[in-house]
Chain A
Amino acid sequence: MDYFQIALVTLEATIRLSVPLILAALAGLFSERAGIFDIGLEGKMLAAAFAGGAAAAVYDSAFLGLLAAIAVSVCLALVHGYASITQRGNQIVSGVAINFIAIGATVILGQAWFRQGGRTPQLGGDSRFEAVTLPFVDTLADIPYIGDIYASLISGHFLLTYFAFAMVPFSWWVLYRTRFGLRLRAVGENPGAVDTAGISVTRMRYLAVICCGILCGFAGAYLSMAVAAGFVKGMTAGKGFIALAALIFAKWKPVNVMLACLLFGFLDALAILMQGRPLPLIGEVPVQFMQALPYILTVILLAGFIGKAIPPKAGGVPYVKER
C-alpha cells in the first residue's frame, strides 16, 4: 500500500469512528448547555443500540429500528430528567445509575428474547442501513487522487454519517440562531433569568434532555444497525465517555465538538493502523497509549494547560426558586 492509500484508509476509518462520538457529544451538548450534566451518554447509546438492533430484526425494518432506538434513549433521558429536574437529585449519581441499568438490561433482555449470548440476530437487507453511493463516483473514478477521495471519503457512507455531520451546523444554528437555543443556553447559565422572563425552567430542561435522548438514539442506531449488523453485548465500549471527553475538550461548542470527535476518532484509527508497525525515531507506540490518549488529552485540558474549559455556570445545580 502506498502512503496515499494508507492515508485514505485511515481517514475513512476516522470518519467511521467519529460518527457515534459526534452524535453522542452533540447529545451531551444539548443537555449540558441547559445545565443538566450527563455522564449517562454511554448507557443511553448502549440501550439505543440494543433497541435498534432488536426492533430492526423483529420487524425487518431499519426505520422501525431507528425509531425504537430513539424511543428507548429518550425514555432513559426522561428518567435522568425526572431525577435531576423534578426530584432535584444528584445528576452524576443519576447518570451512573442509567449506565448500569443499560449495561445490565441490554444483556438480560437480549438473552431472554433472542438467546444468542446477548446478541441480537444478524441484520441485513431492509433491516440494516446500507452505505449510499453518491452520484458521479464512476465519472470521477479515473481522475487520480480526486476520484479515490471522492469515492471513499465523500461517498460511500451511511445516511446516518451524513446526518451526523449535518447535525453539527444544525446544532450550532439551533443554539445560536433560534429562540429555543437562546433559552436553552440561558437556562444553563442562569435559570433565574429564564424564570423571571416568564419561561418555564422545567420545560426547557426537559426539552433539552429529550434532544439529548434523540441524538443518543441515533448514535446507538449507528452502532448496531449501520457499522455492525446487530447488537453485541457492551458494544459502545466507552464511546459515551470519549464523547463526554470530546464535549469538554470542545468547551461545549458545536463546531469544536466535531473537531474534537474527529481528533479522537483519528487517534482511534491511528491506533488500529499502527498496531505492530514501529514508527521511525519513536519506535513502536503501544496501542494502549493511543487508546488512552483522548482521556489523557482531556485531563490535560481540564488541568488548564491548554486553555480553560469552563462549563455552563448552572450545570449540575437543580433549580430552586428562591424566596
Chain B
Amino acid sequence: MSSPYEKLPGWVEYVLIPLINLTVAFLVAGLVVLIVGQSPIKAASLLVQGAFGYGEGLGFTLYYATNFIFTGLAVSVAFHCGLFNIGGEGQAYIGGLGVALVCLWLDGIFPWYLTFLVAVTASALFGAAWAFIPGYLQAKRGSHVVITTIMFNFIASSLMVYMLVEVIKPLGSMAPQTRTFLEGGQLPRLDWLLAMFGFDIGGAPFNLSFIVALVAAFFVWVLIWRTRLGYEIRTMGASPTAARYAGIKDARIIIITMLISGGLAGMMALNPIMGDQHRLQLDFVAGAGFVGIAVALMGRSHPVGIIPAAILFGVLYQGGAEISFEMPEISRDMITIIQGLVILFAGALENMFRPALVAFFATMRGAGNPSEVSTSGE
C-alpha cells in the first residue's frame, strides 16, 4: 500500500494522519447516533466510563483487546508480505477447534499450565493449517489470497457447525457446544495484575492470554524488523521482483507468512475458549477476525500501533455494551458501524486528507515555492 505522495514529517505520517482519520470515523459515527435521536456526547461519556470507569469494565476492555491484538497481528504480518489475509475469522475459528480438542483431552490429566502449553501450540497449528491452503494456492497456483481466504471463512464455518453438531457435542446434549472443561483446561485470570493498580476486575474474564498476546506482539516486532525471515518477508511485500533478484524464494515466503498469520489468528481462540467460556461454542470468534483488519490498518501494521488500536476496539466492545444497557437504541451493532468507518477512513480513504496536510506543511516550512511539494505524476 505505497502511495505516490510527498513525504511528510514522521509524526504527521504516523500520528497525526491516523488520528485525523480516526476522528473523522468517530464524527460520522456520532452522526449516526444523532440520526437515531440520541446524544453522541452522552454515548461517548458512557463509552469511556464503561470501558475504564471501574475494574470490571477495564477487565472486559482488556479481555476484548486480547482478541484483537492477535487478529490484528495476523493481518499485519500478511500485509508486510503484500498479502491481504481476510481469513482471520476462519483461522481463529479452526484454532478454537485445536484448543478445545487439547483441553477435552488433557484437562483431567494435566494441570492448566501444561494443558496451556499444548493448547497454545495446537491453536497456532490449527490456525496455520487453515491458512496453509490459501497460502499454498497463492504461492504455487496464483489464486488470489483475498478470495480464497473469504471462501475459507465460510468453509470453516460449515465445518465447525458440523463438528459441533455431529462430532464433539456430548451425547444427549442439545446445545451445539462441547462439555465444560475441567480446571486443567482453564486459564487463570489476571485479577492480581489490575489489583496492583487498585482495580477489582469482578467477573471480567481478563486472563493469561493477554500476556500471551503481548508476547506475540513482541515476537512479531522481532520477526519483522530483526530477523532474516522478516527481512525477506518485507522485501517480498515491497518488491517481488527485487525479492526474486535477491534469491528469495517467493513461494516459500508466501506460504511461511500465511502460516504465521494463520497461527496468530488461531491463537486468538485461547482467550475466549480457555480463558473465558471454558468450552467451544458456535461463532465464538464473533467477528474478531474482521476487527483485526481495522486494527492492522489503524496500527499501520506495527505492533506499537496495533496494541493501542486493539485496546481502542476493546473499549468500543466493552463501552458499547455499557451504552446499549443505558441507551437501548444504540445496540452493540454500533460497534460494527464504527469498525466499518474506521476501515473506510483509516484504510481505503487513508490519503484523503494528505494533500491538504502536504500543502499546509509546505506553507509552514515557508519554502515560498509551492511547486516544490506538489505531487508527482499528472
Indicate if A touches B (C-beta under 8 A): yes
- Complex: how many Å from CA A241 to CA B148? 11
Interface residues of A in 275-292 (CB under 8 A from B): 286, 288-289, 291-292
Whether A299 pairs with B148 at a CB distance below 8 angstroms is yes
* Contact partner, A96, options B36, B158, B290, B349, Cβ 8 Å: B290
Segment of B199-207, B225-233, B326-334 engaged in the interface with chain A: B326-334
Asked whether A320 and B348 contact (CB < 8 A) given A104-B335, A288-B162, the answer is: no
* Contact partner, A245, options B86, B151, B329, B339, Cβ 8 Å: B151
Query: Is the CB of A107 closer than 8 A to any CB of chain B?
Result: yes
Whether B341 pairs with A292 at a CB distance below 8 angstroms is no
- Complex: how many Å from CA A88 to CA B37? 35
Query: Is the CB of A321 closer than 8 A to any CB of chain B?
Result: yes
Asked whether A100 and B331 contact (CB < 8 A) given A83-B344, A241-B154, the answer is: no
- Complex: how many Å from CA A39 to CA B334? 21
Asked whether A100 and B334 contact (CB < 8 A) given A112-B329, A286-B166, the answer is: no
Query: Is the CB of B195 closer than 8 A to any CB of chain A?
Result: no
Query: Is the CB of A98 closer than 8 A to any CB of chain B?
Result: yes
* Contact partner, B347, options A93, A238, A299, A304, Cβ 8 Å: A93
* Chain A residues within an 8 Å CB radius of B341: 97, 101
Whether A288 pairs with B159 at a CB distance below 8 angstroms is yes
Closest CB-CB distance, A271 to chain B, in whole Å? 10
Query: Is the CB of B293 closer than 8 A to any CB of chain A?
Result: yes
Report the nearest B residue to A238, measured CB to CB: B154
Whether B349 pairs with A89 at a CB distance below 8 angstroms is yes
Closest CB-CB distance, B320 to chain A, in whole Å? 11
Report the nearest B residue to A233, measured CB to CB: B333
Asked whether A79 and B150 contact (CB < 8 A) given A96-B293, A302-B143, the answer is: no
* Chain B residues within an 8 Å CB radius of A104: 333-340
Closest CB-CB distance, A147 to chain B, in whole Å? 38
- Complex: how many Å from CA A83 to CA B350? 9
Asked whether A93 and B148 contact (CB < 8 A) given A104-B339, A108-B334, the answer is: no
Asked whether A93 and B293 contact (CB < 8 A) given A112-B329, A292-B159, A304-B141, the answer is: yes
Query: Is the CB of B352 closer than 8 A to any CB of chain A?
Result: yes
Query: What is the size, in residues, of chain B's interface with A at 8 Å between Cβ atoms?
Result: 55
Query: Is the CB of B122 closer than 8 A to any CB of chain A?
Result: no
* Chain A residues within an 8 Å CB radius of B150: 39, 241, 244
Taken residue by residue from 340 to 365, chain B's Cβ proximity to chain A (1 for < 8 Å, 0 otherwise) reads as 11011001111110000000000000
- Complex: how many Å from CA A104 to CA B332? 8
Closest CB-CB distance, B315 to chain A, in whole Å? 17
Whether B377 pairs with A100 at a CB distance below 8 angstroms is no
Query: Is the CB of B147 closer than 8 A to any CB of chain A?
Result: yes
Asked whether A100 and B337 contact (CB < 8 A) given A292-B154, A299-B151, A320-B377, the answer is: yes
* Chain B residues within an 8 Å CB radius of A108: 32, 36, 329-331, 333-334, 337
Query: Is the CB of A322 closer than 8 A to any CB of chain B?
Result: yes
Closest CB-CB distance, B100 to chain A, in whole Å? 18
Whether A101 pairs with B347 at a CB distance below 8 angstroms is no
* Chain B residues within an 8 Å CB radius of A90: 1, 347-348
Report the nearest A residue to B145, measured CB to CB: A302
Query: Is the CB of B297 closer than 8 A to any CB of chain A?
Result: yes
* Chain B residues within an 8 Å CB radius of A298: 147, 151
* Chain A residues within an 8 Å CB radius of B9: none
Asked whether A89 and B350 contact (CB < 8 A) given A96-B293, A104-B340, the answer is: yes
* Chain B residues within an 8 Å CB radius of A295: 151-152, 154-155
Query: Is the CB of A103 closer than 8 A to any CB of chain B?
Result: yes
Query: Is the CB of B117 closer than 8 A to any CB of chain A?
Result: no
Taken residue by residue from 54 to 91, chain A's Cβ proximity to chain B (1 for < 8 Å, 0 otherwise) reads as 00000000000000000000000001001110011111
Whether B340 pairs with A87 at a CB distance below 8 angstroms is no
Query: Is the CB of B137 closer than 8 A to any CB of chain A?
Result: yes
Taken residue by residue from 145 to 176, chain B's Cβ proximity to chain A (1 for < 8 Å, 0 otherwise) reads as 01110111011001101100110000000000
* Contact partner, A100, options B159, B165, B336, B351, Cβ 8 Å: B336
* Chain B residues within an 8 Å CB radius of A248: 147
- Complex: how many Å from CA A292 to CA B157? 9
* Chain A residues within an 8 Å CB radius of B352: 87
Query: Is the CB of B286 closer than 8 A to any CB of chain A?
Result: no
* Chain A residues within an 8 Å CB radius of B37: 112
Query: Is the CB of A105 closer than 8 A to any CB of chain B?
Result: yes
Whether A112 pairs with B348 at a CB distance below 8 angstroms is no
Query: Is the CB of A296 closer than 8 A to any CB of chain B?
Result: yes
Whether A289 pairs with B158 at a CB distance below 8 angstroms is yes
Task: Please list 12 pairs of residues, one from A and one from B, whose beta carbons are closer than 8 Å in the complex, sorted by A's number.
Answer: A83-B344, A83-B349, A91-B348, A94-B347, A96-B86, A97-B347, A100-B340, A104-B334, A111-B328, A241-B151, A244-B150, A291-B154
Residues of A within 8 A of B (CB): 39, 79, 82-84, 87-94, 96-105, 107-109, 111-112, 118, 238, 241, 244-245, 248, 286, 288-289, 291-292, 295-296, 298-299, 302-304, 311, 320-323
Q: Which 10 A-B pairs have the closest CB atoms?
A: A100-B340, A104-B336, A104-B337, A94-B348, A101-B340, A89-B348, A97-B344, A292-B158, A93-B347, A302-B143
Give 19 new A-B contacts, CB below 8 A, not counting A241-B154, A295-B152: A39-B150, A82-B349, A89-B351, A90-B347, A93-B343, A96-B340, A103-B333, A105-B337, A107-B331, A108-B330, A111-B329, A112-B35, A241-B150, A241-B151, A289-B162, A296-B151, A299-B143, A299-B148, A302-B143
